[in-house]
């Protein structure tokens, strides 16, 4: 597992740790508490898989810093923004083109994954930058996907491809972390309720969520700050 994915796991574990220190506040929203429990379960399983992975990754090198899981991350990020944009605009045609189950990406043949990445990149570029940025995808995210795709395409036929593609442990970690990001997205939406119900924990949660950036090249979208109390 590369340094970024390890850092992401550490960040996710921090969210759980802080939640457990503030269990009384967390329990004010039962579904939020359930989400924390699911995140903890994922974190535990990822740690266990890393141990099993052991030396199985010793022959896998990140040529040019690009890995299969990083391309999947970029695709999911950009596709999510385009999906949200299409849904808001009521564009059913566009929506249908960006509705791939993210859990399938880790199991796709490289050629299929690359074709999907190209399609999503083209669709994202067709949307006005100002519009797409409202859904978390700026020019930097699009550029990151394009660069990652180009580099990945250039190395995919190397002897390492078979090792990467058939690494069940790598795919499992990728899928688990994708699920964790979905859980965290739901938690972020519910967390704003703590501004009134448990403001101290809300501040702690915001801090724990912003320890790690969403990708090595972009800042995490922060939860809006708590507005000052009315006088």
Average pLDDT of the chain is 83
The structure tokens 């052991």 sit at 54
CA distance 218 to 142: 11
Neighbours of 37 (CB within 10 A): 15
Average the pLDDT over 52-69 and give the result: 55
User: pLDDT tens for residues 63-118?
Assistant: 544 468 888 999 999 999 999 999 999 999 999 999 888 878 877 888 888 999 99
Residue pair 93/140 in contact (Cβ under 8 Å)? The answer is: no
Dihedral (CA of 123, 124, 129, 131) sign: positive
For residue 97, the model assigns a pLDDT of 93
Position 42 pLDDT exceeds 70: yes
Per the model's pLDDT, the better-predicted residue between 178 and 231 turns out to be 178
Average the pLDDT over 165-188 and give the result: 85
- Ranges of H-type helices in 54-167: 68-89, 92-97, 110-125, 129-133, 139-155, 160-165
32 secondary structure, DSSP code: H
- Which tokens go with 9? 């796991």
Among 44-58, 106-120, 158-172, 179-193, which stretch is predicted with the lowest mean pLDDT? 158-172
Domain layout of the chain by residue ranges: 1-60+168-231, 64-166
Most confident of 39-53, 96-110, 124-138, 214-228: 124-138
User: What 3-state class would DSSP assign to 218?
Assistant: strand
**Residue of 189, 173, 208 lying closest to 20 (CA atoms):** 208
- Which tokens go with 45? 């399983």
> Band of the pLDDT at 216, cuts 50, 70, 90?
very low
Residue pair 160/59 in contact (Cβ under 8 Å)? The answer is: yes
Kindly state the percentage of the chain with pLDDT values over 70.
Answer: 79
CA distance 84 to 5: 25
> Band of the pLDDT at 28, cuts 50, 70, 90?
very high
List % helix, strand, coil for the chain (3-state, nearest 5): 75, 0, 25
């Amino acid at each position: 597992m590369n340094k970024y994915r390890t850092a992401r796991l550490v960040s996710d574990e921090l969210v759980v740790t802080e939640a457990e220190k503030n269990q009384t506040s967390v329990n004010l929203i039962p579904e939020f508490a359930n989400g924390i429990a699911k995140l903890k379960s994922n974190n535990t399983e990822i740690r266990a898989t890393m141990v099993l992975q052991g030396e199985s990754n010793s022959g896998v090198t990140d040529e040019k810093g690009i890995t299969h899981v990083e391309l999947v991350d970029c695709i999911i990020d950009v596709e999510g923004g385009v999906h949200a944009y299409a849904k808001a605009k009521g564009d059913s045609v566009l929506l249908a083109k960006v509705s791939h189950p993210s859990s399938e990406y880790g199991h796709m043949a490289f050629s299929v994954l690359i074709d999907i990445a190209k399609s999503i990149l083209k669709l994202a570029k067709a949307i006005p930058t100002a519009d797409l940025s409202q859904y978390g995808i700026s020019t930097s995210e699009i550029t990151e996907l394009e660069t990652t795709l180009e580099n990945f395409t250039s190395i995919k036929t190397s002897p390492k491809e078979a090792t990467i593609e058939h690494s069940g442990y790598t795919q499992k970690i990728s899928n688990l972390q994708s699920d964790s990001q979905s859980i965290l997205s739901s938690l972020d939406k519910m967390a704003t309720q703590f501004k009134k119900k448990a403001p101290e924990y809300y501040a702690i949660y915001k801090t724990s969520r912003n320890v790690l950036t969403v990708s090595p090249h972009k800042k995490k979208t922060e939860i809006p700050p708590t507005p000052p109390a009315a006088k």
